[in-house]
Amino acid sequence: MAMHGFSSHSGSGGGGGSGPIDYMTDDDYYDKEEGIWQPRDPLPEVIEGDPALMVQMIDALDHKHQYTSGVLSFTKSDTEKLKASGLDAAITDITGGLKEMLFAGIAKEHQHILIVAHTHLDRLELHYVLPRHNYEVDRAWNPAPPGEGKFRQMDALVDMINVRYGLDDPRDPL
């Protein structure tokens, strides 16, 4: 099943772009069950974007909320289904749908995002971060504004992914 979550972090507490980018690209992760840092094996894979450039873009913003981040997460069994259908093509399709939803109405040359795949837990996680700025009109912008609308949009994307790839539905009562 594909599931999505927006992070509650936005840069409003300081720290800039290095926080989310370091989390996404670090060779190690904090294993909550073991209470220790563990190496990621395999290492994170940058799917799209440039981590150093994303840090610079986020750090250059003077908005209170500098970035939006989130993750599309898949179970182990559904990761196997994606692999059987062609994992690289599936990731391209899924991230394409994610960008269409996040950047609706924004020209492609102004769509700035970093997408990193984690598979160290034997399942696929597609982490992303983007600056909260619309460079096309040079204004602050929130791709996930407060309210229920952002959840309806993301639920529709998750439903599309789950149906297209025959994945389990996380909202199925059974």
Per-residue pLDDT 10s for the chain (174 aa) are 678 778 887 887 777 899 999 999 999 999 999 999 999 999 999 999 999 999 999 999 998 999 999 999 999 999 999 999 999 999 999 999 999 999 999 999 999 999 999 999 999 999 999 999 999 999 999 998 887 777 888 889 999 999 999 998 877 787
Q: What is the pLDDT of residue 4?
A: 79
User: Residue 14: which residues within 8 A CB-CB, separation 6 or more?
Assistant: none
pTM: 0.94
Q: What is the pLDDT of residue 109?
A: 96
DSSP state at residue 109 = G
E-strand spans in the chain?
A: 2-6, 28-31, 36-39, 45-48, 67-74, 114-118, 125-131, 133-134, 139-140
N-terminal to C-terminal alpha carbon distance within the chain? 13
CA dihedral of residues 9, 161, 52, 106 (deg, nearest 10):
-90
Q: What is the pLDDT of residue 10?
A: 83
Does the CA dihedral 142-144-147-149 come out positive or negative?
positive
Does the CA dihedral 117-118-123-129 come out positive or negative?
negative
Q: What is the pLDDT of residue 51?
A: 98
Q: What is the pLDDT of residue 150?
A: 77
